Amino acid sequence: MLSTAVFSSFSMRQPMEVAINYGLSVVQILATILTLFLGLNLISRELESKAGHPVLAQPISRGSYIIGKFMGLLMIVLVILIISGACAALGIWLTTLTLDTPGHVSWAGFIIALYGTFISCTVLGGLTVLFTSLSTSAILPFLLTCGVYAIGQSTQAAKRFIEAELAGVELTPLVKMIAKGAYYIFPNFALFDFKVQAIYDLPESATLLGIATVYGLTYLALTLFGAVILFEKRDLS
Protein backbone atom coordinates (compact mmCIF):
# COMPACT_ATOMS: atom_id res chain seq x y z
CA MET A 1 0.00 0.00 0.00
CA LEU A 2 2.74 2.41 0.98
CA SER A 3 4.93 1.28 -1.91
CA THR A 4 2.23 2.52 -4.34
CA ALA A 5 2.73 6.10 -3.15
CA VAL A 6 6.55 5.71 -3.25
CA PHE A 7 6.56 4.14 -6.72
CA SER A 8 4.24 6.77 -8.19
CA SER A 9 6.20 9.65 -6.64
CA PHE A 10 8.91 9.27 -9.32
CA SER A 11 6.43 10.09 -12.07
CA MET A 12 6.75 13.53 -13.68
CA ARG A 13 3.27 14.11 -15.08
CA GLN A 14 1.00 11.22 -14.10
CA PRO A 15 1.53 9.97 -10.53
CA MET A 16 -2.13 8.95 -10.21
CA GLU A 17 -2.00 6.87 -13.39
CA VAL A 18 1.24 5.23 -12.22
CA ALA A 19 -0.36 4.43 -8.85
CA ILE A 20 -3.35 2.71 -10.52
CA ASN A 21 -1.02 0.94 -12.97
CA TYR A 22 1.21 -0.30 -10.13
CA GLY A 23 -1.72 -1.41 -7.95
CA LEU A 24 -3.46 -3.35 -10.70
CA SER A 25 -0.23 -4.93 -11.99
CA VAL A 26 0.78 -6.10 -8.51
CA VAL A 27 -2.69 -7.61 -7.99
CA GLN A 28 -2.45 -9.37 -11.35
CA ILE A 29 1.04 -10.77 -10.72
CA LEU A 30 0.10 -11.92 -7.20
CA ALA A 31 -3.19 -13.51 -8.28
CA THR A 32 -1.54 -15.26 -11.25
CA ILE A 33 1.28 -16.75 -9.15
CA LEU A 34 -1.08 -17.90 -6.40
CA THR A 35 -3.54 -19.41 -8.91
CA LEU A 36 -0.71 -21.26 -10.57
CA PHE A 37 0.74 -22.77 -7.38
CA LEU A 38 -2.54 -23.41 -5.59
CA GLY A 39 -4.03 -24.98 -8.73
CA LEU A 40 -1.05 -27.25 -9.24
CA ASN A 41 -1.01 -28.42 -5.63
CA LEU A 42 -4.77 -28.82 -5.53
CA ILE A 43 -5.06 -32.31 -6.98
CA SER A 44 -1.52 -33.61 -7.47
CA ARG A 45 -0.48 -33.28 -3.82
CA GLU A 46 -3.72 -34.81 -2.57
CA LEU A 47 -3.41 -37.80 -4.87
CA GLU A 48 0.30 -38.18 -4.13
CA SER A 49 -0.32 -38.36 -0.38
CA LYS A 50 -3.47 -40.42 -1.01
CA ALA A 51 -5.43 -37.91 1.11
CA GLY A 52 -8.02 -37.60 -1.65
CA HIS A 53 -8.70 -41.34 -1.87
CA PRO A 54 -11.31 -41.40 0.96
CA VAL A 55 -13.22 -38.68 -0.83
CA LEU A 56 -13.05 -40.57 -4.12
CA ALA A 57 -14.27 -43.71 -2.33
CA GLN A 58 -17.51 -41.87 -1.54
CA PRO A 59 -20.42 -42.20 -3.98
CA ILE A 60 -19.43 -39.14 -6.00
CA SER A 61 -18.18 -39.13 -9.57
CA ARG A 62 -14.62 -38.20 -10.41
CA GLY A 63 -16.01 -35.36 -12.48
CA SER A 64 -17.75 -33.89 -9.42
CA TYR A 65 -14.49 -34.22 -7.49
CA ILE A 66 -12.59 -32.24 -10.13
CA ILE A 67 -15.30 -29.59 -10.47
CA GLY A 68 -15.60 -29.29 -6.69
CA LYS A 69 -11.84 -28.88 -6.33
CA PHE A 70 -11.85 -26.23 -9.06
CA MET A 71 -14.72 -24.34 -7.43
CA GLY A 72 -12.74 -24.32 -4.18
CA LEU A 73 -9.74 -22.89 -6.03
CA LEU A 74 -11.99 -20.26 -7.60
CA MET A 75 -13.25 -19.20 -4.18
CA ILE A 76 -9.70 -18.84 -2.84
CA VAL A 77 -8.69 -16.81 -5.93
CA LEU A 78 -11.74 -14.59 -5.49
CA VAL A 79 -10.91 -13.94 -1.82
CA ILE A 80 -7.26 -13.21 -2.73
CA LEU A 81 -8.40 -10.80 -5.45
CA ILE A 82 -10.83 -9.01 -3.13
CA ILE A 83 -8.18 -8.61 -0.40
CA SER A 84 -5.34 -7.60 -2.75
CA GLY A 85 -7.70 -5.36 -4.75
CA ALA A 86 -8.77 -3.61 -1.53
CA CYS A 87 -5.10 -3.14 -0.57
CA ALA A 88 -4.35 -1.71 -4.04
CA ALA A 89 -7.35 0.63 -3.77
CA LEU A 90 -6.11 1.77 -0.39
CA GLY A 91 -2.66 2.39 -1.86
CA ILE A 92 -4.21 4.48 -4.64
CA TRP A 93 -6.26 6.41 -2.11
CA LEU A 94 -3.12 7.05 -0.01
CA THR A 95 -1.41 8.36 -3.15
CA THR A 96 -4.27 10.84 -3.69
CA LEU A 97 -3.52 12.21 -0.20
CA THR A 98 0.12 12.86 -1.09
CA LEU A 99 -0.74 14.94 -4.19
CA ASP A 100 -1.91 18.54 -4.42
CA THR A 101 -4.06 17.86 -7.49
CA PRO A 102 -4.61 14.11 -7.50
CA GLY A 103 -6.86 13.95 -10.54
CA HIS A 104 -9.73 11.63 -11.21
CA VAL A 105 -9.59 7.92 -10.39
CA SER A 106 -11.93 5.68 -12.36
CA TRP A 107 -13.06 3.23 -9.66
CA ALA A 108 -15.50 1.59 -12.08
CA GLY A 109 -12.58 0.98 -14.46
CA PHE A 110 -10.51 -0.33 -11.52
CA ILE A 111 -13.21 -2.89 -10.64
CA ILE A 112 -13.57 -3.92 -14.30
CA ALA A 113 -9.78 -4.43 -14.50
CA LEU A 114 -9.95 -6.63 -11.38
CA TYR A 115 -12.81 -8.55 -12.98
CA GLY A 116 -10.60 -9.09 -16.06
CA THR A 117 -7.83 -10.41 -13.79
CA PHE A 118 -10.36 -12.77 -12.17
CA ILE A 119 -11.45 -14.16 -15.56
CA SER A 120 -7.78 -14.55 -16.52
CA CYS A 121 -7.07 -16.45 -13.25
CA THR A 122 -10.16 -18.59 -13.81
CA VAL A 123 -8.87 -19.72 -17.21
CA LEU A 124 -5.39 -20.26 -15.76
CA GLY A 125 -6.91 -22.30 -12.91
CA GLY A 126 -8.78 -24.41 -15.47
CA LEU A 127 -5.50 -25.08 -17.27
CA THR A 128 -3.73 -26.18 -14.06
CA VAL A 129 -6.59 -28.61 -13.33
CA LEU A 130 -6.42 -29.94 -16.90
CA PHE A 131 -2.68 -30.56 -16.77
CA THR A 132 -2.71 -32.07 -13.26
CA SER A 133 -5.43 -34.46 -14.47
CA LEU A 134 -3.16 -35.42 -17.33
CA SER A 135 0.06 -36.18 -15.52
CA THR A 136 1.13 -37.92 -12.34
CA SER A 137 4.34 -35.92 -11.92
CA ALA A 138 4.37 -32.47 -10.32
CA ILE A 139 6.83 -30.77 -12.65
CA LEU A 140 5.16 -31.52 -16.00
CA PRO A 141 1.82 -29.76 -15.22
CA PHE A 142 3.81 -26.76 -13.91
CA LEU A 143 5.86 -26.50 -17.09
CA LEU A 144 2.85 -27.03 -19.34
CA THR A 145 0.75 -24.41 -17.53
CA CYS A 146 3.60 -21.88 -17.53
CA GLY A 147 4.20 -22.54 -21.22
CA VAL A 148 0.55 -22.15 -22.19
CA TYR A 149 0.26 -19.01 -20.06
CA ALA A 150 3.35 -17.48 -21.68
CA ILE A 151 2.07 -18.33 -25.18
CA GLY A 152 -1.43 -17.09 -24.29
CA GLN A 153 0.01 -13.76 -23.14
CA SER A 154 1.96 -13.28 -26.36
CA THR A 155 -0.28 -14.58 -29.15
CA GLN A 156 -1.99 -11.20 -29.64
CA ALA A 157 1.37 -9.37 -29.82
CA ALA A 158 2.77 -12.01 -32.19
CA LYS A 159 -0.32 -11.84 -34.45
CA ARG A 160 -0.10 -8.03 -34.58
CA PHE A 161 3.61 -8.25 -35.37
CA ILE A 162 2.93 -10.65 -38.26
CA GLU A 163 0.03 -8.60 -39.61
CA ALA A 164 2.08 -5.40 -39.43
CA GLU A 165 4.60 -6.91 -41.92
CA LEU A 166 7.44 -4.75 -40.71
CA ALA A 167 10.08 -3.78 -43.24
CA GLY A 168 13.15 -5.98 -43.13
CA VAL A 169 11.43 -8.83 -41.28
CA GLU A 170 10.79 -11.80 -43.51
CA LEU A 171 8.63 -14.55 -42.07
CA THR A 172 8.04 -17.89 -43.77
CA PRO A 173 4.41 -18.94 -44.43
CA LEU A 174 4.90 -21.84 -41.98
CA VAL A 175 5.85 -19.48 -39.14
CA LYS A 176 2.86 -17.27 -39.96
CA MET A 177 0.57 -20.32 -39.96
CA ILE A 178 1.94 -21.55 -36.62
CA ALA A 179 1.52 -18.10 -35.04
CA LYS A 180 -2.05 -17.77 -36.34
CA GLY A 181 -2.86 -21.31 -35.20
CA ALA A 182 -1.47 -20.55 -31.73
CA TYR A 183 -3.61 -17.41 -31.61
CA TYR A 184 -6.78 -19.45 -32.03
CA ILE A 185 -5.80 -22.56 -30.02
CA PHE A 186 -4.18 -21.05 -26.94
CA PRO A 187 -6.19 -18.83 -24.58
CA ASN A 188 -5.76 -15.15 -25.45
CA PHE A 189 -4.96 -13.69 -22.03
CA ALA A 190 -4.52 -10.19 -23.51
CA LEU A 191 -8.30 -10.14 -24.05
CA PHE A 192 -8.87 -10.05 -20.30
CA ASP A 193 -6.55 -7.08 -19.77
CA PHE A 194 -8.60 -3.95 -18.99
CA LYS A 195 -5.84 -2.15 -17.10
CA VAL A 196 -5.19 0.56 -19.69
CA GLN A 197 -8.86 1.67 -19.59
CA ALA A 198 -8.72 1.87 -15.78
CA ILE A 199 -5.36 3.69 -15.69
CA TYR A 200 -6.24 6.42 -18.19
CA ASP A 201 -10.00 6.52 -17.53
CA LEU A 202 -10.75 5.49 -21.11
CA PRO A 203 -14.27 4.47 -22.13
CA GLU A 204 -14.98 0.79 -21.51
CA SER A 205 -16.49 -1.27 -24.29
CA ALA A 206 -19.41 -3.32 -22.96
CA THR A 207 -19.21 -5.52 -26.07
CA LEU A 208 -15.54 -6.29 -25.50
CA LEU A 209 -16.20 -7.01 -21.84
CA GLY A 210 -19.06 -9.35 -22.79
CA ILE A 211 -17.01 -11.12 -25.45
CA ALA A 212 -14.07 -11.51 -23.04
CA THR A 213 -16.40 -13.05 -20.45
CA VAL A 214 -18.02 -15.45 -22.92
CA TYR A 215 -14.64 -16.38 -24.41
CA GLY A 216 -13.07 -16.95 -20.96
CA LEU A 217 -15.96 -19.01 -19.65
CA THR A 218 -16.17 -21.10 -22.83
CA TYR A 219 -12.43 -21.78 -22.72
CA LEU A 220 -12.74 -22.69 -19.05
CA ALA A 221 -15.67 -25.05 -19.76
CA LEU A 222 -13.64 -26.78 -22.48
CA THR A 223 -10.58 -27.22 -20.24
CA LEU A 224 -12.69 -28.55 -17.37
CA PHE A 225 -14.48 -30.87 -19.78
CA GLY A 226 -11.10 -32.20 -20.91
CA ALA A 227 -9.90 -32.45 -17.30
CA VAL A 228 -12.94 -34.50 -16.26
CA ILE A 229 -12.54 -36.91 -19.18
CA LEU A 230 -8.82 -37.37 -18.50
CA PHE A 231 -9.32 -37.78 -14.76
CA GLU A 232 -12.06 -40.35 -15.23
CA LYS A 233 -9.73 -42.45 -17.38
CA ARG A 234 -6.79 -42.08 -15.03
CA ASP A 235 -5.54 -45.08 -13.06
CA LEU A 236 -5.34 -43.96 -9.43
CA SER A 237 -4.27 -47.22 -7.92
List residues near another protein by CB under 8 A: 10-14, 17-18, 21-22, 25, 28-29, 120, 149-150, 153-154, 157-158, 160-161, 189-190, 193, 195-196, 199-200, 202
Query: Radius of gyration over alpha carbons of the chain, in Å?
Result: 20
At 99 the three-state DSSP class reads coil
User: Min. distance of Cβ 108 from another protein in angstroms?
Assistant: 18
User: Min. distance of Cβ 120 from another protein in angstroms?
Assistant: 8
User: Min. distance of Cβ 189 from another protein in angstroms?
Assistant: 6
Nearer to another protein, 54 or 168 (CB): 168
The CA distance from 222 to 215, in Å, is 11
Nearer to another protein, 131 or 189 (CB): 189
User: Min. distance of Cβ 200 from another protein in angstroms?
Assistant: 5
The CA distance from 21 to 201, in Å, is 12
Distance, first Cα to last Cα, the chain: 48
The CA distance from 106 to 100, in Å, is 18
Report CA 66 to chain centroid distance, whole Å.
20
Contact 230, 55 (CB under 8 A): no
The CA distance from 83 to 162, in Å, is 40
CA-based max dimension of the chain = 66
Altogether, the residues listed in the chain come to a count of 237
User: Min. distance of Cβ 72 from another protein in angstroms?
Assistant: 25
User: Min. distance of Cβ 138 from another protein in angstroms?
Assistant: 23
